[in-house]
Chain A
Amino acid sequence: MGPWPYLAAGWILLVALYGLVTSRNLIHAIGCLAVAQSSTYVLLLSVGYRRGGTAPVFSDLRPGSRPVVDPVVQALALTDVVVGATVTALLLALTIQLRKRHGTVDPQALTGLRG
C-alpha cells in the first residue's frame, strides 16, 4: 500500500486543524479535536501493521504459528483513546457552563480576553 496509511493520518490532522481554525461553534471545535486525535490512532496502528499478521492474542493461536501485528502500538492507541475521551468530556463541561454564562458557543463572539 506504500505510504498511504501514513499519509491518511497526516490528512486527518490537517482536516481537523482546518475545522478548528474556521470553527464557529465550540462543540464543533471539540469534535475537530477528536478528529485530530483519531489521526494518531491511524498512524500508530499503521506503523504497527505486519503483512499477513493477525491480532496479538494467543488464546486460540499457537505462539509462533503465525505472525502477529505489533501489540505495543495497540496498547498505546487504547491509552490514547481514554485520554482523548476524558479531555473531550472536560472541554464539553466547560462549554456547557460557557453557554450558560455567555449565551453563545461561537468562539468568534468571545471577546472577554484580548490585548
Chain B
Amino acid sequence: MPTATLLPLAVAIPLFGAVLLAVAGRVLPRTGCDVLATAVAVGDVVCLALLWPHTHGVATAPLGGWPAQVGIVLAADRLGAGLALLAACLVLAVVVYSWRYFDEPSGERAGVFPAMVLLFEAGMVGFALTGDLFNAFVFFELMGATAYALTGYRIEDPRPLQGALTFGVVNSFAAYCSLLGIGLLYARTGQLNLAALGRGLAGHRTDLLVVTAFVLVITAMLVKAAVVPFHFWLPDAHAVAPTPVCMLLSGVMVELGVYGIARIHWTVFSGPGGVPDDAFRRTFLALGVLTALTGAAMCWQQRHLKRMLAFSTIGHVGLFVVGIALLTPDGTAGTALYVAAHGCAKAALFGLTGVLLDRYGSVDEPGLYGRARELRLVGVLFVIGALALAGLPPFGTGLGKGLTEDAAGHGHPWLPAVFVVVSAVTGGTVLRAALRIFWGFGETPRPRPGEPETTGEGEEPEIRGPRRALPPMMVAVPAALLAGCVLLGCVPAVARALAGGAGTFTDPAAYRAAVLGPAAAATAHPGTPGPVPDAWTGAGVLLGLLSAALAVALAVLATTRPPTWHRAIGATARGLRRLHSGHLGDYLAWLALGVAALCAVIAAQT
C-alpha cells in the first residue's frame, strides 16, 4: 500500500475502532469488547509495521490532496514512525493486559474504557506523524483530554481526581502557551507547515520574536516531557492513574514530549533565523542533566511504587533530553533506541506493580515488606525489569544508553557519568523495592512520621469481587514487554534502522525536500555526516555492567544497612521533596519561572 494510504490509516484505524467500541459496547458483552479492542489495536500495529519499510527517507501523505502550502501533510521518517509503532505496540499490550484485569463499568458502558484508550492512541500516533504545527497542537490536546479522563478513572478516591486535575490544568495551560507561540510564528512567516515554517524563518535574523515564540511553542512539549521545572504534575498523575494507563503515560506519552522538542527544533528552528545550535545545545544539556539528577534523587526517596516509577521516568527523560540536545545523528539514534527500550521496560514494571495492587491492595514499599514471597515469578520479572532500567547488557536500554553515552562523551567527557549515576540510582531503587517486597531482604523499614511523602497504602483496589486466580495476561504481558526490551538490544537490524532514521531526522533539508518538493531544499544545512554507530561497543558494555553493578550495590546497601545520611544531604533531600507540594498554584508558578528562565537564557546566547 502506498504511504498516502498508510499514514492517515494509522490515525483513522484507532478513531474508527473507538467509534465501533462506543456503539457496539452497548450490546456486546465484556469479552466481545475486549476482542474488538484487541483486533483494532493489532490492526494499527500492522498498519504501522507496513509503513516502516517505506520510511527510508521521509514518507509523506498530503491530506485532502492539497499541497503542503495549503493543506496538512503527514510526514513520517523512521523515528516518527517508530515512535508511533511503539505507541501502538504498548496500546496493544495494555488492551491485552486489561482483558480480565479491570473492574470496568459493565452494561451499556462496557466499551467506553477501551474506546478511550484507542482515542488516546490516535492522539499519540497523530502527534508523531503530523507535519503541521497547529495539527500537532490538536493531536496534543486529543492525547491530553483522553489522558486526563483516564487518569481520573477511579472516582471513589480523591487522589486520582486531584492528580488528573493537576495534570489537566498544567498541560492545558502549557498547550495554550504553545498556541500563543504558534500565533507569533504565523505572524512572522504566514505558515503552519513545519518545513515551510523553517524556510519562512530563514529570511529574517534571529530576534526576540523568534526566541519568545520558540520558548512558548516548546513549553507544551517540556511540560509533556516533564522536564524540570515543568515536571511537577507527572508524579501526581502517574501515581494515581489506573495501572494500564500508567503503562501508556510513562511508556510513551512522556517521550512524545521529547520527540516534539527535537522534531520542532530540527524542522523549524535549526536553520538561519532560528535558534542557534550552541544556544539550544547548552540550554537543553543543562535542562536534561538537571532533570535527570532531580528524577533520580526523588526516585530514591519514594515508597509509593508507582510514584517511584514515575520519578524514574523523569530521570530517564532527562537522559533523553541530553541525547537530543547533542544535536548529532549518533546522539539522536542512541536516544531513539533508549526511548523504545525504556518504554518496554517501564510499561512492564508498571504492569507488575499492577499485580501487587491486585493481590494486596497496596503499592507501598514498607507496607508490602516480605508479603509477596509467594509471587516468585513476578518477583524475578521485577528484578529483571529493574536491571533493564539500570542499563544491563543485553537489554535495549543498555545499548541505547551506551550509544547515547558514546555520543555525549565526545564533547563532554563528564556526561557518561551522569548516565551511569542516574540509571544506577533509578534501577537500584526499583531493585531495593523488589528485594524487600518479594524476598523480605534486610530489616523491616522504620516509619518516617512527619515527612512530606505519599504512602501507597489504602489504595482503592482496581478490581473487586471474590478473590480469583491471577489473570495470566497480567504476568504474560510484562514478560513479553521485557522480552521486547531484550530484542531491541540484540537484533542489530533495529539499531541500524534507527541509526539511518536519525540521519534523516537531523537533516532538515531532507525533510523540507520531501514535504515541500526538491526545489525547497536549496537553502538548508549542507552535508551529511558519516556513518552513525549502531552496535555494542566495549565501553558501552562496560558502562552498562558498571551501572547495573552499582544498582545492585545500592539496593543491597539500602536494604541491609539503612543509610545514615550526612545532615546536609538529608536536609537537601527533604527540601527537594517539600517542593513537590501537590499544590496547583506552586506548579504553575514553577512553570512561569521555567518559561521566563528559558527566554532569558536563550536570548542571552543569541
Contact = CB atoms under 8 A, between A and B. Distances in A.
Interface string B150-179: 001001111101111110110011001101
Contacts of B148: 87, 90-91, 94
Contact of A98 (B161, B169, B179, B302): B161
Given A39-B176, A47-B183, A94 B164 contact: yes
B577 A20 contact: no
B187 interface: yes
B144, B192, B582 pick with most chain A CB within 10 angstroms: B582
B206 interface: no
Contacts of A110: 158, 162, 582-583
Given A26-B165, A94-B165, A94-B168, A44 B183 contact: yes
B46 interface: no
Contacts of A6: 187
Interface string B178-193: 0110011011000010
A94 to B, nearest CB: 5
Interface in B515-573: none
A69 interface: no
Contact of A95 (B165, B186, B192, B580): B165
B228 interface: no
Nearest to A79: B138
B28 interface: no
A22 B585 contact: yes
B239 to A, nearest CB: 7
Given A20-B585, A21-B592, A95-B165, A115 B451 contact: yes
Contacts of A39: 176, 180
A65 interface: no
B240 interface: yes
Given A101-B155, A113-B236, A17 B588 contact: yes
B186 A73 contact: yes
A87 B165 contact: no
B452 interface: yes
Given A20-B584, A30-B169, A87 B180 contact: no
Contact of B173 (A20, A47, A73, A115): A20
A104 B239 CA distance: 21
A59 interface: no
B156 A23 contact: no
Interface residues of A, number: 45
A73 B191 CA distance: 11
Contacts of B166: 113
Nearest to B592: A17
Interface string B234-256: 01100110000000000000000
Contact of B583 (A13, A90, A97, A107): A107
A17, A22, A87 pick with most chain B CB within 10 angstroms: A87
Contacts of A102: 158, 161-162
B149 A90 contact: yes
Contacts of A80: 179
B158 A101 contact: yes
A33 interface: yes
B152 A94 contact: yes
Nearest to A48: B186
A87 B451 CA distance: 35
Contacts of B169: 20, 29-30, 33, 91
A100 B337 CA distance: 45
Interface string A21-41: 111001001100100110110
B453 A115 contact: yes
Given A26-B165, A83-B138, A112 B180 contact: no
Contacts of B31: none
Interface of B: 134, 138, 141, 144-145, 148-149, 152, 155-159, 161-166, 168-169, 172-173, 176-177, 179-180, 183-184, 186-187, 192, 235-236, 239-240, 301-302, 451-454, 577-578, 580-585, 588-589, 592
Interface of A: 6, 9-10, 13, 16-17, 20-23, 26, 29-30, 33, 36-37, 39-40, 43-44, 47, 72-73, 76, 79-80, 83, 86-87, 90-91, 94-95, 97-98, 101-102, 107-108, 110-115
| CB-based closest 4 A-B pairs | A115-B453, A101-B158, A43-B183, A113-B582
